[in-house]
Amino acid sequence: MSELSPIELEVANLIIDSLALEDITAADIVPGDALFNDGLGLDSIDALELAMAISQKYGFQLKSDDANNAQIFSSLRNLAKHIESNKT
């Protein structure tokens, strides 16, 4: 069982709900592990789906030209951090 902060737990559940990852629970996501490719195996369709869910829930838009984009999506921990500092 991995230790998730409240915001990480919230984002983990958002990922699971918006991507219909029914076979895993928030506790299965290791906050430092990769979300895409080898980690949860997410791909670009998922990134779009996730962007929609984030804009609806947190009121800001993800964009590709963010210099830290690769880092933002690299793990649950980084995504949660990015959301926390950008949400409106």
Measured between alpha carbons, how far is 27 from 24 in angstroms, rounded to an integer?
Answer: 8
Select 7 or 39, whichever has its Cβ closest to another protein. 39
Q: Nearest approach, Cβ of 75 to another protein (angstroms)?
A: 17
Q: Nearest approach, Cβ of 81 to another protein (angstroms)?
A: 19
Q: Nearest approach, Cβ of 52 to another protein (angstroms)?
A: 5
Select 16 or 80, whichever has its Cβ closest to another protein. 16
Measured between alpha carbons, how far is 46 from 88 in angstroms, rounded to an integer?
Answer: 23
Measured between alpha carbons, how far is 41 from 44 in angstroms, rounded to an integer?
Answer: 10
Region of residue 39 (left: phi > 0; alpha: psi -120 to 50; beta: else): alpha
Residues that bind another protein (CB under 8 A): 19-23, 25, 37-38, 41, 43-45, 47-49, 51-52, 55-56, 61-65
Q: Nearest approach, Cβ of 71 to another protein (angstroms)?
A: 16
